[in-house]
Amino acid sequence: MYYISYGCSFMEGTKAFRVPWGLQMIPAVILGIGLLFLPESPRWLARHDRWEETQAVLTLVHGKGDPNSPFVKLELDEIRQMIEFERQNADVSFMELFKPNMINRVHIGIFTQVWSQLTGMNVMVSSHCTNYMCNIY
């Protein structure tokens, strides 16, 4: 995209920015059309008690057509357990985070994220990993 934008910078008028924007939309349109042909998520189907379709999608994606595949059974059992857990805990709300017994944990999580960003550690770690990978190869 850098080279396309550079090449379009020599165009006159609004074409200089409209052409790169238009070209960026092509993959998005292809992805949007492709999404229409994807099956529903197995977890979404399970939440709506459509278990036969859930197993069919899992068989298609993970079982290579074999509905008796051990991985399909394992995944289906895991989804059943998670759906049951979610239904048992449906009364939990976002406001639970602000109750006195949870607020300390929320503060620790928030401030760990804030301070890790403000110290710049993510930049140092990623540059170290990049340099390390360059030295390996």
User: From first to last of its 137 residues, what are the pLDDT tens digits of the chain?
Assistant: 788 888 888 888 888 888 988 998 999 999 999 999 988 899 999 999 999 999 999 999 888 888 889 999 999 999 999 999 999 988 888 888 889 999 999 999 999 989 888 887 777 766 555 544 444 44
CB 69 within 8 Å of CB 63: yes
Helix segments in the chain, DSSP class H = 2-8, 15-35, 42-47, 51-61, 70-88, 103-118, 121-136
Q: Which two tokens stand for residue 130?
A: 């990049």
